[in-house]
Amino acid sequence: MNKENLKIVSTNRKAYHDYFIIETYEAGISLLGTEVKSIRAGRVNLKDSYASIKNGEVFLENMHISPYQQANRFNHDPLRVRKLLLHKNQIRKLIGKVEQRGMTLVPLKVYFKNSKIKVELALVKGKKQYDKRREIAKKDFEREKKREWKYR
């Protein structure tokens, strides 16, 4: 990468297992001060989170940001709906693709890019059970092949 300071805070490993990733987008996220401090401490979980489009805006739902310890009564709701910041033409393109059968928006990563918090959002299509089994078998085969070459 070109002079961009990236620090990955959290990844959604389950998304890579459950979905075929078709396209990815980088989005900013609208946060409260205590949420930013919790994310800096690494207290964010993307499991089971997804994005939805309402009234021409994209919202991230079910992303858990733990309450900040020192914030007392000024803390945030851990599962509140957060607005994602994308360009209008990107949102229009996503609306068209999400309306297709089986497509959804899932966050893959939360990271810092030049001290700003970004979310990598992916347009995905769900995998069937046999696709998951095939992928696991392929990984096992690659691991065994690598192990064989290691001892030769």
At which residue do the structure tokens 């805070």 appear? Answer: 9
Q: pTM, whole model, 2 decimals? A: 0.77
Rg of the chain over Cα atoms, rounded to whole angstroms, equals: 18
pLDDT string in tens for the chain (152-residue length): 455 678 899 998 888 888 889 999 999 998 888 888 888 888 899 988 999 999 989 999 999 888 887 777 777 788 889 999 999 999 988 888 888 777 889 999 999 998 899 999 999 988 888 888 888 898 888 898 888 887 76
Q: Where are the domains of the chain?
A: 6-127
Instruction: Find out whether 124 and 105 touch, Cβ atoms under 8 Å.
Output: yes
Q: Which residues of 102-140 are buried (b: 16+ CB within 10 A; e: fewer)?
A: ebebbbbbbbeeeeebbbbbbbbeeeeeeeeeeeeeeee
What type of residue sits at position 13?
Answer: R
Instruction: Find out whether 95 and 105 touch, Cβ atoms under 8 Å.
Output: no
Long-range Cβ pairs for the range 141-145 (8 Å, 24+):
none
Options 2.40.280.10, 1.10.565.10, 2.60.40.10, 3.40.710.10; CATH of 6-127:
2.40.280.10
